Amino acid sequence: MGDHWAYQSVKKPDVPQIGTLWSRLGITANDETDWAKNEIDHFILDKLKQDGLKPSPEADRATLIRRVSLDLTGLPPTEKEVADFVADKSADAYEKVVDRLLKSPAYGERWTGMWLDLARYADTKGYERDPGRKIWRYRDWLIKAFNQDKPFDQFTVEQLAGDLLPTPTDDQLIATGFHRNTMTNDEGGTQDEEFRTAAVLDRVNTTWDVFGGTTFACIQCHSHPYDPFTHDEYYKYLAFFNNSRDEDVTSDTPTLRFYKPADSLKLAGLQHFIASSIQNPKQAQASVNQVTHLVRTIEPKINSHDFDQYVNASLLDAKYFGFQDKGSCRIKNVTLTGRPRLLLRWGTKATNATVTIRQDKLDGPILATILTPKPGKDTVQMVPLPPVQGRHNLYLSLDSPEKPKDWVQIKWVAFAPILPGQPQNAVGEKDQLLLDLLNADVEQTPIMLDGSGDLARETHVFDRGNWMVKGKRVTPDVPRSFPAMDPKLPKNRLGMARWMVSREHPLTARVAVNRFWEQLFGTGIVETVEDMGTQGIQPTHQELLDYLAAEFMDSDQWSVKKLLKKMVMSATYRQQSNASPELVAKDPFNKLLARGPRVRLSAEAVHDQALAVSGLLSHKMYGPSVMPMQPDGIWQSPYDGETWKQSTGEDLHRRALYTYWKRTAPYPSMVTFDSPSREFCQLRRLRTNTPLQALVTLNDPVYVEAAQNLGEYMRNHGSSPEQQIQAGFRQVMLRDLPPKKLAVLVHLYRTTEEYYQQKPGEAENLLDRPGFDCKKVSPQLAALTVTANTMLNLDEVITKE
Amino acid sequence: MNKLLNELQQAAAERETRRHFLHTCSTGLGAMALSSVLSSCGFFGKGNPQNNTVGSAPLPGEPTAPHPSQFVPKAQRVIYIHMAGSPSQLELFDYKPELAKYNGKDCPQALLEGKKFAFIRGVPKMLGPQGKFAQHGQSGAWVSDYLPHLQGVVDDITFLKAMHTDQFNHAPAQLLMHTGSARLGRPSMGSWVTYGLGTENDNLPGYIVLASGGKQPDAGKSIWGSGFLPTVYQGVQCRTDGDPVLYASDPAGMNRDVRKQTIDAISQINQQQYDDVKDPEILTRIAQYELAFRMQMSVPDAMDIKSEPQYILDSYGVDPNKGSFARNCLLARRLVERGVRFVQLFDWGWDTHGTSADGSIDIGLHTKCKESDQAVVALLQDLKQRGLLDDTLVVWGGEFGRTPMQENRDGQVLPFMGRDHHLDAFTVWMAGGGVKKGFSYGETDDIGYYGVKDKVHVHDLQATILHLLGFDHTKLTYQFQGRPFRLTDVAGKVVKPILA
């Protein structure tokens, strides 16, 4: 099994020769050499010849620019862009279009849309309660990364392990949101450890799915029946991920904290104070970094679900520790060396209660006695500790005589350094400044951070995949059947990420190339983009895949834009998609590519195109998710009471990738057009063709509004119905309707115009909407709206041709 | 003339569609769907013939067309009534006089050791049955006074009294019950069934979901999702307010005639497009637009209960102007009558911990029973009287059971009587479509804590339902990510003793 082609490192194959010696030298004309534009075409043609097929001619310019615009930016071109291209007689007219599209900001949005499925991005946490989660900064990061053409190896490393890069930037931390899109379970009574484990398993599976295109998940329970992986190798790989500090807590920590400007100034002041108070510049910088990390993340922390030895105490709602009068608990094995300040986050209803912290025993030496904060908002408190060396158990006990039955909750504890010039045994002025920042109102985005020291975890094999039954202990490593990790790489997530994008790794580049190919051509070179293993479907053009993967890694330095450009510049891509009955019979699913791709648009593109061609689309980029029109009653969450609050202004008409994504109730029209729920990573959308899709584009108010707007555009562009219909169709399809099709639409226009003449009230009903001037109501406009609605439902309109 | 022309074109399109698909069955649906079906089904020369996926592979353009099962089925269709939150078997069916003796006493340590509960902490008190039990019918089935109507039809029912599951939280337990896995991402039972059998009415979705109780079930839409099966097999939720199927209403100002004209225009232009480019997907799209148009009428028609005679409305206890569980029961009958393959009912509000009056076994459970008892029984009788019960399987149950102990959430005494989630014992009942009448299977111990005889796991229940529909549950599979998947994962055995 280990000798399966996809598990061998990529070698660049020779490019097949086409044409004749003379034609290759450019001396004589030859159909093959005249047709081919780049190496891709050599591979395709070589195969076509073996099957006795000939390529198709290039698509007409209007069709070609629509295809390449939808593919590269997810949006159709404008009429002007089409006209310019059609009129451009220069030899590189098409290349200029491609270069313009690759530079367009919409490019990043389009490819982010694809990546969000892989990252299982959502605006909610999933599972039963499925409450909101703010992780849209990760989406913004993706858009920028694609637009900057961040090399795919770096793109991979930052998402998998940006937090472990030396002094990571905010962007590199935000990138790790990739693996913080795992679900967390806030349902009452659920065990955090179970769902922390589920998230770690999901990260392992998703990493292999997205970058490895291999069904690694199989070996969670047993050794792989088909592919060269063993059961324990799964857990060795899992060990790379098992140290992350996220533990299924409600607050979704660790997070990167974003302060309001005034608080950011305070932080800058604090940094300046520390830097200027310490003589040694290296020490000063280290101290600044330590405090900055604490303020930006409040990590490392010990979550209170890890406390034990409860007396008169409970893990409330299976989430946070709480105790009542005379209650106590233990925090075990805490290193106290060099930790002069204890931080605690309280939630309490009791008044005038005191908590005593003792060392090693319930009646051991007292380290601190704390008056709990006033009831109300959760607060972080700072407690000075006497100098203690080594690792100890801490015992916390509560005296709460005033309200003995009221719970005093501790959500987590953490440690802070002592700031320069602060008293050892009291909270000083600068300490207070630090504490104010920890209590400040902030925005947060989930990130990955690893624990070390007391917080490092051991990884064990789960017997038959059951997380409760721990088998032998394992340390991080990659599967033996793959090239070993470079010994210079650290055995942590960062080393693993670098290994994934090493030149020898057989899968990462192939899988990426195959995925981008599938997006353009409708089907991957390996049709099962999710599985390149032995059970996947065999590649149609294996040497082409290897050629592109080798170029991608070597000469193109992992540039996605160069890869995509190579694909769309090929003659193969530019072919017309029409087929003769003979060709359809011979190659019904166009695996050999003797014609251009013809596939239904993605859910996002169906939506964005309708808004674009009707003039409604907002080009606003970035930021929190938006809530466009959605029928009532889609969200019925049992507990959280969150509701769909329709956005206003241009946020009503943003591109689909910005639509708020609730995992248990995703935006209905997206799901109807085959979007996954994003609970888990989905590598390939199965394109279906269902009546529910027809109902969306016919009747969904979003599409009706698009038809209304397009109807108005038509009325303003022409004096006869024929002209108006042609103008509308040009706006949508960037070409003229042939006479037969025009006749059908004119007939439709005439009969509906007649209907609305008889029923002016119906015309008003059809056209009326917020902001519409009722004086504009006419049977003609109503009939144009009906015609526009019809046009937006034509097969050719929702298809990339 | 125009109409005639349309019909001719349509007929030609359908012929061509079918011919095309018969011709090119080696991959399909433009995507993995059929290739997956075929690579595991072997009907067209690929794959292993022992590994049949479905009786006859669905055709790509007609993935929901009816097709035969693997062997002669006892049931043609299913109405699955899921009481989300999980009703207490100890108040309704599983009569435990011994438990009454322990009422108010501390739970013995032996029952708590090594056990985890969703909310019980420390040592809870035992809680005796709150219903008054008696035996009913020829079969002598125990049913409490919480369900007076059901008492009258026990001779049509098989009770599974020693059900057990692996999950004690709602969402995972509901997922396990409906998808065979506690994790998200697998197809639901109704998806498997429509994938295997198609639908008998091509004007309606084959798998329809109706929810009541004011909220969606905890696990959300995933429990009627199609997982990795093509989305055409996912459950279509019919709503009680607004459009019964999303976007089934034509826009304001567009009547049926106008809509018909637009569909005709779309079909004509698409047909011309097909003539030019010969992409078979266009023919499918033409057919799907026609179906959408028919569904726009047939779905509201099926959902319009105002045409039912008053005595039927009365028998179910339906207020035609209000969404309710009773109304959904009546709709279930109307839908199976029209050939819908799988009707899934969810009723929210059966989670009785004792934290509030509504969520208690002494008050809330009574209310939920009162709201549903009459309708469930009316459904059984209505199906029977129409001759539908013989080949319609009705299943009733929650996602798990409830503890014989009174819940003591966070170590406190709760204001009302309640029980925590319990995975080791609960009751599910089935009626019609090939199961025994007046039968009880399985026993729990004296306090209803563990099954002690004839235990039935969730996967066994699923295997049995598929068996009744004519499928070997180990052979109704779908190839995904390199291996065949099935509803019952790697487990499940058919509960043969309950088969009629």
CA distance A517 to B327: 50
Q: Residues A306, A385: one domain?
A: yes
The verdict on residue A642 lying in a domain is no
A400, A420, A441: which is the final residue of a domain?
Answer: A441
3-class DSSP state for residue B222?
Answer: helix
Q: Residues A228, A337: one domain?
A: no
Closest CA in chain B for residue A676: B227
Beta bridge partners of B374: none
* Interaxial angle between packed helices A152-161 and A508-521, expressed in degrees from 0 to 180 and rounded to the nearest 10: 110
Residues of A in contact with B276 (CB under 8 A): 578
- Residue B195, min C-alpha distance to chain A (Å): 14
- Residue A512, min C-alpha distance to chain B (Å): 17
Residues of A in contact with B296 (CB under 8 A): 695
Buried-exposed string A450-466: b where 16+ CB fall within 10 A, e elsewhere:
bbeeeeeeebbbbeebe
Tokens 């890869």 map to which residue? A563
Please give the single-letter amino acid code of residue A499. Answer: W
What is the average pLDDT value for chain A, to the nearest integer? 93
Q: Are A113 and A606 spatial neighbours (Cβ–Cβ below 8 Å)?
A: no
ipTM, two decimals, is 0.92
What is the average pLDDT value for chain B, to the nearest integer? 85
Of B20, B230, B239, nearest to A688 by CB-CB distance is: B230
Note whether B277 contacts A: Cβ–Cβ < 8 A. yes
Inter-chain residue contact A689 with B23, CB threshold 8 Å: no
Closest CA in chain B for residue A666: B221
Quick: pLDDT tens for A236-246: 999 999 999 99
Q: Residues A377, A469: one domain?
A: no
CA distance A56 to A592: 12
The stretches of A492-648 forming alpha helices (DSSP H) are 493-500, 508-521, 542-553, 560-569, 571-574, 581-586, 603-613
- B residues 468-497 lying closer than 8 A (beta carbon) to A: 481-483
Joined tokens for residue B493: 């055995």
Closest CA in chain A for residue B211: A636
Q: What is the pLDDT of residue B481?
A: 64
3-class DSSP state for residue B226?
Answer: coil
Neighbours of B33 (CB within 10 A): 25
Q: Are A383 and A344 spatial neighbours (Cβ–Cβ below 8 Å)?
A: yes
Tokens 């904060």 map to which residue? A373
The domain in which residue A757 lies consists of: 699-800
- Which of A686, A725, A759 is the best residue to mutate to test the B interface, defined by the most B CB atoms within 10 Å of its own CB? A686
Number of A/B CB contacts below 8 angstroms equals 266
Neighbours of A542 (CB within 10 A): 16
How distant is the alpha carbon of residue B251 from its chain centre? 32
Note whether B35 contacts A: Cβ–Cβ < 8 A. yes
Q: What is the pLDDT of residue A637?
A: 62
The verdict on residue A290 lying in a domain is no
For residue B44, is pLDDT > 60? no
How distant is the alpha carbon of residue A158 from its chain centre? 13
Q: Residues A479, A577: one domain?
A: no
- Residue B230, min C-alpha distance to chain A (Å): 6
CA dihedral A444, A445, A446, A447 (to 10 degrees): -110
For residue A517, is pLDDT > 50? yes
Q: How many domains does one find in chain A?
A: 4
Inter-chain residue contact A701 with B251, CB threshold 8 Å: yes
**CA nearest neighbour of B467 among B368, B399, B393:** B393
**Which segments within A279-363 are labelled E, that is strand?**
301-303, 308-316, 320-335, 341-348, 354-359
- Give the residue extent of every domain in chain B: 77-241+323-498
Peptide bond just before B129 cis, omega within 30 deg: no
Inter-chain residue contact B247 with A789, CB threshold 8 Å: no
The mean pLDDT of A109-134, rounded to a whole number, is: 93
Note whether B258 contacts A: Cβ–Cβ < 8 A. yes
- Which of A218, A690, A705 is the best residue to mutate to test the B interface, defined by the most B CB atoms within 10 Å of its own CB? A690
Closest CA in chain B for residue A518: B31
The mean pLDDT of A48-61, rounded to a whole number, is: 94
DSSP A191: -
CB-count exposure of residue B422 (10 Å: 0-12, 13-18, 19+):
buried
Note whether B239 contacts A: Cβ–Cβ < 8 A. yes
Provide long-range contacts, Cβ within 8 A and 24+ apart, for A214-223. A214/A507, A214/A531, A214/A532, A214/A533, A215/A530, A215/A531, A215/A533, A215/A535, A215/B481, A215/B482, A215/B483, A217/B481, A218/B481, A218/B482, A218/B483, A220/A462, A220/A465, A221/A464, A221/A465, A222/A464, A222/A465
Of B168, B185, B216, nearest to A680 by CB-CB distance is: B185
CATH number at residue A403: 2.60.120.260
- Which of B21, B266, B483 is the best residue to mutate to test the A interface, defined by the most A CB atoms within 10 Å of its own CB? B266
CA distance A638 to A242: 32
Of B225, B259, B272, nearest to A677 by CB-CB distance is: B225
CA distance A436 to A430: 10
- Residue A605, min C-alpha distance to chain B (Å): 18
Neighbours of A389 (CB within 10 A): 9
Residues of A in contact with B27 (CB under 8 A): 527, 588-589
For residue B38, is pLDDT > 50? no
Please give the single-letter amino acid code of residue A465. Answer: G
For residue A203, is pLDDT > 90? yes
- Residue B265, min C-alpha distance to chain A (Å): 6
3-class DSSP state for residue A330?
Answer: strand
Residues of B in contact with A701 (CB under 8 A): 251
Query: Which residues have CB under 8 Å from A432's CB, separation 6+?
Result: none
Inter-chain residue contact B277 with A537, CB threshold 8 Å: no
Of B232, B250, B266, nearest to A793 by CB-CB distance is: B266
- Residue B383, min C-alpha distance to chain A (Å): 29
Q: What is the pLDDT of residue A1?
A: 43
The verdict on residue A143 lying in a domain is yes
The mean pLDDT of A526-546, rounded to a whole number, is: 89
**CA nearest neighbour of A115 among A197, A177, A32, A172:** A177
CA distances to A266, A268, A424, B88 from A273, in Å: 10, 9, 18, 64
If residue A62 lies in a helix (H) or strand (E), which one and from where to where? helix A61-73
Quick: pLDDT tens for A564-610: 999 999 999 999 999 888 888 888 889 999 999 999 999 999 999 99
Of A127, A765, A796, nearest to B273 by CB-CB distance is: A796
CA distance B424 to A63: 63
The verdict on residue A512 lying in a domain is no
Closest CA in chain B for residue A782: B253
Closest CA in chain B for residue A641: B215
A530, A565, A586: which is the final residue of a domain?
Answer: A586
If residue A742 lies in a helix (H) or strand (E), which one and from where to where? helix A739-758
CA distance A575 to A577: 6
**CA nearest neighbour of A678 among B184, B482, B235:** B184
Inter-chain residue contact A579 with B277, CB threshold 8 Å: yes
Note whether B114 contacts A: Cβ–Cβ < 8 A. no
Inter-chain residue contact A187 with B218, CB threshold 8 Å: yes
Q: What is the pLDDT of residue B480?
A: 75
Note whether B278 contacts A: Cβ–Cβ < 8 A. yes
**Which segments within A25-170 are labelled E, that is strand?**
none
Q: CB-side exposure of A489: number of CA atoms within 13 Å?
A: 20
Query: Which residues have CB under 8 Å from A759's CB, separation 6+?
Result: none
Q: Residues A105, A119: one domain?
A: no
Of B183, B245, B482, nearest to A531 by CB-CB distance is: B482
Inter-chain residue contact A579 with B232, CB threshold 8 Å: no
Closest CA in chain A for residue B241: A633
Q: Report the percent of chain A where pLDDT is more than 70.
A: 98
* Interaxial angle between packed helices A721-733 and A701-715, expressed in degrees from 0 to 180 and rounded to the nearest 10: 130
For residue A461, is pLDDT > 80? yes
For residue A561, is pLDDT > 80? yes
Quick: pLDDT tens for A257-303: 999 999 999 999 999 999 999 999 999 999 999 999 999 999 999 99
Domain B77-241+323-498 CATH superfamily:
Alkaline Phosphatase, subunit A (3.40.720.10)
- Confidence band, pLDDT 50/70/90 cuts, at residue B498: very high
CA distances to A535, A541, A688, A781, B486 from A517, in Å: 20, 12, 20, 43, 31
Inter-chain residue contact B220 with A317, CB threshold 8 Å: no
Q: Are A234 and A460 spatial neighbours (Cβ–Cβ below 8 Å)?
A: no
Q: Residues A224, A241: one domain?
A: yes
Quick: pLDDT tens for B445-475: 999 999 999 999 999 999 999 999 999 999 9
Q: Are A306 and A329 spatial neighbours (Cβ–Cβ below 8 Å)?
A: no
Please give the single-letter amino acid code of residue A711. Answer: G
Inter-chain residue contact A691 with B411, CB threshold 8 Å: no
Q: What pTM did the predictor assign?
A: 0.85
The mean-pLDDT minimum among A25-34, A93-102, B78-87, B434-443 falls in A25-34
Q: Residues A68, A199: one domain?
A: no
Inter-chain residue contact B281 with A600, CB threshold 8 Å: yes
Inter-chain residue contact B270 with A527, CB threshold 8 Å: no
Joined tokens for residue B342: 């799988």
- Confidence band, pLDDT 50/70/90 cuts, at residue A639: low
For residue A184, is pLDDT > 60? yes
Quick: pLDDT tens for A426-450: 999 999 999 999 999 999 999 999 9
Closest CA in chain B for residue A188: B118
Of B27, B171, B295, nearest to A127 by CB-CB distance is: B171
DSSP A119: T
The mean pLDDT of B419-443, rounded to a whole number, is: 96
> Biggest alpha carbon distance in chain A?
101
The verdict on residue A673 lying in a domain is no
